[in-house]
Chain A
Amino acid sequence: GEDVEQSLFLSVREGDSSVINCTYTDSSSTYLYWYKQEPGAGLQLLTYIFSNMDMKQDQRLTVLLNKKDKHLSLRIADTQTGDSAIYFCAESPASGSARQLTFGSGTQLTVLP
């Protein structure tokens, strides 16, 4: 089945850029998502990208996709303390009546003052 992997922890200084990495295994057309989870809360959708795209930018967020290596990254520019959270990468197939998400284990981002 599909598998999504992420590193568990990342620490950055406030104002620096953060880069959170993810690898996936599904070779068919797929959507890839980034979710943010703050302590004790549900998951908030940040952004998504379709597997035929290379890059997507949304304000401070930039998603880069390397289809050959099945590698996805989320770059957060000018990281702030409010960005401290767990970030989940997820993928789903592009077709089907109930498109199930496969999540990575999440990356805990800590922003240091």
Chain B
Amino acid sequence: SQTIHQWPATLVQPVGSPLSLECTVEGTSNPNLYWYRQAAGRGLQLLFYSVGIGQISSEVPQNLSASRPQDRQFILSSKKLLLSDSGFYLCAWAGTSGGRETQYFGPGTRLLVL
């Protein structure tokens, strides 16, 4: 069966410091991968998605970036964190079954920028 991991679970970082959040998927190959941010107001905002290695699409201009160095690894990065980057970051993978694509979410990383 497929599983999705996110690391770390919680992170407290000072403003201006770099960031690297990791997401890995097991049990599937060539999945579509997604990064979302959930702010305190609960809505989910799509940040990046990837349909293959090295292929990244950005939905929202910001100081974050994403990379996909391996088929089942998706990394969210920043060179200098802002206070507004605080939030709950969710990674998701998508599989296709019978023409329907469904997204499955990881446990999330809670980021607090001070």
Using CB atoms and an 8 Å cutoff, list the residues of chain A in contact with chain B. 31, 33, 35, 40-45, 48, 50, 86, 88, 92, 94, 97-101, 103-106, 108
Interface size on B, residues (CB 8 A): 26
Within 8 A of A (CB), among B21-75: 32, 34, 41-44, 46, 49, 51, 57, 59
Which residues on the A side are within 8 Å of B43 (C-beta)?
A: 103-106
**Across chains A and B, which 7 residue pairs bring their CB atoms closest together, nearest first?**
A42-B105, A43-B105, A103-B44, A106-B42, A105-B43, A42-B107, A99-B101
Q: At the interface, is chain B mostly helix, strand, loop or mixed?
A: strand
A-B CB contacts (within 8 Å), total count: 59
Which residues on the B side are within 8 Å of A106 (C-beta)?
A: 42-43
Contact B100 A31 (CB under 8 A): yes
Can you show 9 pairs from A to B with CB atoms below 8 A apart?
Answer: A41-B108, A43-B90, A45-B105, A97-B51, A101-B44, A101-B46, A101-B103, A105-B42, A106-B42
CB-nearest residue of chain A to B103:
A101
Per the bound structure, the CA–CA distance linking A45 and B110 in Å amounts to: 20
